[in-house]
Amino acid sequence: MTYSAYIKGRSDPVGRIVCEDGPVTPMITLWNDEVELKRQVLYLGHSSKRHPNSGLIGKHGTARTLFRVLAANENEGEGMKMGILALARAGKKVFYRTNRERWEWILWSYDEGSEKTLAVKFLETKKKAKGTTVTVYGVSIRDICIENYLFLSPPLKDDVLSTSHGEILIGSAHRHKIFDNGIYVETRSVGDQALVYGINFQSSIGIETGRDRNSLVNSESAAEIIYQIWDELITKDHKAATDRYLKLLNEHEASFDVFDAKDLVQEPVAMKLLARMREEMGSETFFYCSDKCDSRVCLA
């Protein structure tokens, strides 16, 4: 099974994931075009980051580590180290081919009986590699939770409300889920700040996730960005989005979808929401907002 990645303006792929179930050992190969790694990415060392299952780093296990490996570049040596270390602890074999070198990742120590740390063996190759290829032996497509990666398992077009700030995922398969640049972060389906719809934040927005990428660090800033997504949709007179946001305010006031809406909604959006409510309720209806500390009633 092969997954290819493309960018606008280019017909050939910029990356590829190939999953093979070999007769003896399954393997996954990841290739990035125009990515050449230099040895300065190898400033490694011991990791104190542990999971109760020592084969896993982060709660998503092998799948998450594979994509950390795929995303490796000169600015992400730490993420690369964590992903490969988790795979090595689980007994998997990881090889890189980049520039004119083949890198074999191993667990190694100076002394017999000492705790092993991540190390690399280098082997020069005659032919320069095109881009960077990563091969992981001992894993297969079954080790990847495809549904946790929107670029591998994209939602239907009608199930996505897209903006420059991110996406509202309205399909049942992605409800309650938070994604960052298409990669699953967490599910909020119960309790305070539960989500009704799903959210996919754009990478350029700068959402902070935990060290394991399994939770949002700052819910308030995330709520602001969620509002900006709705704001952009409503401002552009997206009728379906306007109706959905009104329903959230009326029926799911405590949800994370409209967290802090009373402080975030700006007048232009409020006027559009009011106009839509008047369309639905009729011209004979008036609306007011009440304040428990104020006996006045504000008519709209």
pLDDT the model gives residue 219: 83
Asked if the model's pLDDT at residue 62 lies above 80, the reply is no
Asked if the model's pLDDT at residue 52 lies above 90, the reply is no
Q: How confident is the model at residue 158 (pLDDT cuts 50, 70, 90)?
A: very high
Q: Which of 12, 40, 38, 17 is nearest to 27 (CA)?
A: 17
In order of 12, 235, 236, 283, the CA distances from 269 in angstroms are 42, 6, 10, 20
pLDDT the model gives residue 297: 47
pLDDT the model gives residue 69: 47
Round the average pLDDT of the chain to a whole number and report it: 80
pLDDT the model gives residue 79: 54
Q: How confident is the model at residue 287 (pLDDT cuts 50, 70, 90)?
A: low
Structure token digits, residue 9:
């303006």
pLDDT the model gives residue 139: 86
For the chain, percent of residues with pLDDT exceeding 90: 28
Lateral strand order in the sheet of 177-180: 160-162, 166-169, 198-201, 177-180, 183-187
- pTM value is 0.69
Arithmetic mean of pLDDT, 7-29: 84
Q: Which of 196, 267, 270, 191 is nearest to 226 (CA)?
A: 196
Q: What is the pLDDT of residues 215-244, one digit of tens each?
A: 777 888 888 999 999 999 999 989 899 999
Of 62-66, 130-134, 161-165, 219-223, the one with minimum mean pLDDT is 62-66
Q: What is the pLDDT of residues 190-199, one digit of tens each?
A: 887 899 999 9
Structure token digits, residue 18:
């190939």
Asked if the model's pLDDT at residue 71 lies above 50, the reply is no
Q: How confident is the model at residue 119 (pLDDT cuts 50, 70, 90)?
A: confident
Residue of higher predicted confidence among 100 and 294: 100
Arithmetic mean of pLDDT, 103-129: 87
